Amino acid sequence: MTRAEAVARVADAMPPDWLTIVCNGMIGRELYTHADAPSRFYMIGSMGLASSIGLGLAIVQPARTIVVLDGDGNVLMNMGALGSVAAASPANFFHVVFDNHAHGSTGDQCTISDRVPIEKVAAAAGYRRTMRAHSAGELDHTLTKFFRETGPAMLLVEVERGNKPGIGRVEPSPAELTARFRLSAIG
Amino acid sequence: MTASQRFLDLLEQHGYDFFTGVPCSLFDGVTRILDRNPKYGYVSAVREDSALGLAAGAYLGGRQPVVFMQNSGLGVSVNALVSLNQIYDIPALLVVSWRGRDGNDAPEHLIMGEMMEDFLRLLKIPYALFEPATLERDVDALTRTMRDTRKPVALVVPKGTLQQ
């Protein structure tokens, strides 16, 4: 399964009012191109911080569902944040990691996630539930239950390397993304 | 009432309602209160840039955050400050201790201690020095600047002010 296909399948399982933080790199561009919404916050820098941002949001908005769309390179860069999520243990926090064992935006150079199972690290840190999807069929099956049970939960999705040719860029400016996201989060 | 409690009360009076960070002995008095009193909801972060991420999430969710850190943590925080806070218009009050001031500290603090003011200026972060006599006025001015610009501002904490 390509990453763009996996992102689209996950996005289709998320109602637009759920608050979503997307890490920097191609994942945000793929989500934006497939299904943009004001409740979706796309990072273009600060690699590694998506889970921290999502955690801060989950703590102050306990009645909302918070989804973090992340990559293997991103999680590995700030792995300590998995401990922060587990320690705070927000029931409304759902972490989806698209794992291609590579830094997709910079040319598919190897990460170390082929030898370091990220969802097992999350489980050891104290996430309530962790899962791994190896295929599109498994992903569809897992998605029927993943978001329905209590968090913090991580779903690791194995995806192929490579980027979709001609994928669009996120059009709103960073400041515009903040303003529209806050409106959808706070009302 | 201790100086640390008065400082936290002052922050609350100015609308601050989310507290995270990494401790330093120079503001140990504050962190002790934050750790012990659940009303603050203090989130003990694993790294200073992660604390900035937590604060950014809290801001996106409607809060006005404070991030506590030692000045060594400014080094850890550079990329978050310039590629998250400053370009996304995500404000925070940084309370930064000043280890290594006047060259009188452990070796690991001397270089950052000497360059810290230049470093804050380079990062375009307005700051004030924590002085009990002018604290209320400075917190008020920094908070106004933070709200107007939607960018981080800093309050620099020297030795001897918030250790109790």
Query: In this complex, is the C-beta atom of A186 within 8 Å of any C-beta atom belonging to chain B?
Result: yes
Nearest to A11 by CA among A37, A35, A43: A35
Tell me the pLDDT tens digit for each residue of A67-85: 999 999 999 999 999 999 9
**Can you say how many angstroms the Cα of residue B23 is from the centroid of all Cα atoms in its chain?**
10
pLDDT at A164 over 90: no
- Tell me chain A's radius of gyration from C-alpha atoms: 15
How close, in Å, is residue B115 to chain A by CA atoms? Answer: 23
3-state secondary structure of A155: strand
The count of CB pairs under 8 A between chains A and B is: 120
Query: In this complex, is the C-beta atom of B64 within 8 Å of any C-beta atom belonging to chain A?
Result: no
Output the six-digit token pair for A19. Answer: 């608050």
Chain A residues lying within 8 Å of B89, measured CB to CB: 174-175, 178-179
pLDDT at A166 over 90: no
Pairing state between β A109-110 and A93-99: unpaired
Question: What pairs with residue B155 in β-bridges?
Answer: B95, B128
Q: Do A174 and B87 touch (CB under 8 A)?
A: yes
Average pLDDT value for residue range B106-119 = 96
pLDDT at B94 over 90: yes
So what's the pLDDT on residue A170? Answer: 96
Query: In this complex, is the C-beta atom of B52 within 8 Å of any C-beta atom belonging to chain A?
Result: yes
So what's the pLDDT on residue A143? Answer: 95
User: What stretch of H or E contains A181?
Assistant: helix A174-186
**Confidence band (pLDDT; 50, 70, 90) for B164?**
confident
pLDDT at B131 over 90: yes
* Structural domains in chain A, sorted by start: 3-166 (3.40.50.970)
Show me where the domains of chain B are located.
Answer: 3-157
Q: CB of A53 within 8 A of CB of A61?
A: no
Q: CB of A86 within 8 A of CB of A127?
A: yes
Tell me the pLDDT tens digit for each residue of B62-74: 999 999 999 999 9
How close, in Å, is residue A127 to chain B by CA atoms? Answer: 16
* Mean of pLDDT over chain A: 97
How many Å apart are CA B162 and CA B6, to the nearest integer? 10
Query: Measured between CB atoms, which of A45, A88, A179 is closest to B79?
Result: A45
Q: Do B88 and A177 touch (CB under 8 A)?
A: yes
Query: In this complex, is the C-beta atom of B88 within 8 Å of any C-beta atom belonging to chain A?
Result: yes
So what's the pLDDT on residue B50? Answer: 98
Q: Do A182 and B57 touch (CB under 8 A)?
A: no
How close, in Å, is residue B136 to chain A by CA atoms? Answer: 27
- Note which residues in 107-126 of chain B have CB less than 8 A from chain A: none
ipTM: 0.97
Query: In this complex, is the C-beta atom of A123 within 8 Å of any C-beta atom belonging to chain B?
Result: no
pLDDT at A144 over 90: no
Average pLDDT value for residue range A157-180 = 95
Q: CB of A159 within 8 A of CB of A100?
A: yes
**Confidence band (pLDDT; 50, 70, 90) for A165?**
confident
Is 1.25.40.20 the CATH number for B3-157?
Answer: no
Q: Do B57 and A60 touch (CB under 8 A)?
A: yes
Query: In this complex, is the C-beta atom of B63 within 8 Å of any C-beta atom belonging to chain A?
Result: yes
Nearest to A156 by CA among A103, A94, A111, A77: A94
- How far the first Cα of chain B sits from its last, in Å, is 10
- Note which residues in 10-49 of chain B have CB less than 8 A from chain A: 18, 20, 41, 43, 45-47, 49
Chain A residues lying within 8 Å of B43, measured CB to CB: 55-56, 59, 84, 88
Tell me the pLDDT tens digit for each residue of A28-57: 999 999 999 999 999 999 999 999 999 999
